Amino acid sequence: MNMQSHGVTPERLSNLKRLEAESIHIIREVAAEFSNPVMLYSIGKDSGVMLHLAMKAFYPSKPPFPLLHVDTTWKFREMIRFRDDTAKRLGLDLIVHTNPEGLEKNISPFDHGSSVHTRIMKTEALKQALDKYGFDAAFGGARRDEEKSRAKERVFSFRNANHGWDPKNQRPELWNLYNARVAKGESIRAFPLSNWTELDIWQYILTEDIPMVPLYFAAPRPVVERDGMLIMVDDERMKLQAGETIEEKMVRFRTLGCYPLTGAIESDADTLPAIVREMLIARTSERQGRLIDKDESASMEKKKREGYF
């Protein structure tokens, strides 16, 4: 292939190599500066890439921090299987936390709505887990291209003792010199994938052949159309409403979360190249598949102020 025609001199790092190096640098910096870091592992493609980068960052050692999954009990079953297999395959410690009060009250996205469910089973649960283990830094797989308020978030994002984010009072972040200083109780959320786009993620998965939850690939799945979204019937807790029928459709997911809140898209992309191909001609951004962002365009910023990742 003629490299020149694609704008890269053989000397300069390619886009993916530059992103990879930057992420590894960030991951190592967190491990070196904090006494008790943890990596939030949400099982999705971004988490998968972040974990893959962490394995590279410390090779031949293992990453010097555990993985944490906040389990709402409403994740797709395939996700949970994949999570446990991944931790085992890589030989990493996995902490799973579920909000015990939420469990007791049987919080469900069907009965309590997406915002109550998200607050109690995700935001509150995450805070509980971070406090319980005294983590002073937590890696998240968020990207700046996902959403407007993320576009301004720092790579090292400071959280006060209540896990709150103050968008008006962020630390300036220059060069690759990250300020890791926190007082007791305060913490940093670190985002090694800040500068990746969704397309970068898929291209990297393709190049590196990173294992992914099968839900990302198109397959015939039982779905119900509800509020303009295709919801997969993953277990018996999903009750059909009047007029709804379960149909088998060729679908896949662009993002993964709690199954009642995650819309599928109709697609026949069942291989990585097919997914990237679909991405290249995508006309709809990925968060559209998430019910929780729908309310209003500034809703993510509100959630983040309260401690959401």
Partner 1 sequence: MTIADIQETAEAAVNEYILAQETKDQLRFLTCGSVDDGKSTLIGRLLYDTKLIFEDQLAALERDSRKHGTVGEDIDLALLVDGLEAEREQGITIDVAYRFFATDKRKFIVADTPGHEQYTRNMATGASTADLAVLLVDARNGLMVQTRRHAFIASLLGIRHVVLAINKIDLVGFSQERFEEIRKDFESFASGFDFETLEAIPMSARYGDNVTAKSDKMSWYSGPTLLEHLETVEFGEHALEAPFRFPVQWVNRPNLDFRGYSGTIASGRVTVGEELVVAGPAKSSRVKSIIGPDGEVPEARAGEAITLTLEDEIDISRGDLLSSAAHRPEVADQFAAHLIWMSDEPLLPGRPYMLKIGARTVTATVSEIKHKINVNTFEHMAGKTLELNEIAFCNFSLSSAVPFDPYEANRTTGAFILIDRISNATVGAGMVWFALRRASNIHWQALEIDKTARSQKLGQKPAVLWFTGLSGSGKSTIASMVEKKLHVDGRQTYTLDGDNVRHGLNKDLGFTDADRVENIRRVGEVAKLFTDAGLITLVSFISPFRSERRMARDLMGEGEFIEVFVDTPIEECRRRDPKGLYAKADRGEIKNFTGIDSPYEAPENPEIHIRNVGRDPEEVAEEIITYLREKGFLAGFAEDGEGI
DSSP designation for 237: T
Q: What are phi and psi of 238, to 5 degrees?
A: -85, 115
Q: Which of 77, 105, 132, 171 binds partner 1 (CB under 8 A)?
A: 171
- Is residue 175 a contact point for partner 1 (CB under 8 A)? yes
- Is residue 228 a contact point for partner 1 (CB under 8 A)? no
Which positions ≥6 away from 275 have C-beta within 8 Å? 202, 216, 217, 252, 269
Length of the chain: 309
Q: Which of 88, 108, 173, 261 binds partner 1 (CB under 8 A)?
A: 173
Interface pattern 183-202 for partner 1 (x via CB under 8 A): x--x-------xx-x-xx--
Question: Cα–Cα distance between 34 and 119 in angstroms, integer?
Answer: 27
- Is residue 283 a contact point for partner 1 (CB under 8 A)? yes
- Is residue 243 a contact point for partner 1 (CB under 8 A)? no
Which positions ≥6 away from 292 have C-beta within 8 Å? 114, 115, 118, 261, 299, 303
- Is residue 242 a contact point for partner 1 (CB under 8 A)? no
Give the pairing of strands 263-266 and 247-252: antiparallel
- Is residue 7 a contact point for partner 1 (CB under 8 A)? yes
- Is residue 18 a contact point for partner 1 (CB under 8 A)? yes
Minimum separation from the CB atom of position 280 to partner 1 (A): 8
Q: How many residues bind partner 1 (CB under 8 A)?
A: 72
Minimum separation from the CB atom of position 261 to partner 1 (A): 17
Q: Which of 101, 134, 176, 266 binds partner 1 (CB under 8 A)?
A: 176
At 238 the three-state DSSP class reads coil
Q: Which of 99, 203, 255, 262 binds partner 1 (CB under 8 A)?
A: 203
CA 171, 145, 118, 192 torsion-angle sign: negative
Q: For residues 97-156, which are near partner 1 according to CB under 8 A?
A: 144-145, 148-149, 151-152
- Residue in the block written with tokens 């993620």: 201
- Is residue 295 a contact point for partner 1 (CB under 8 A)? no
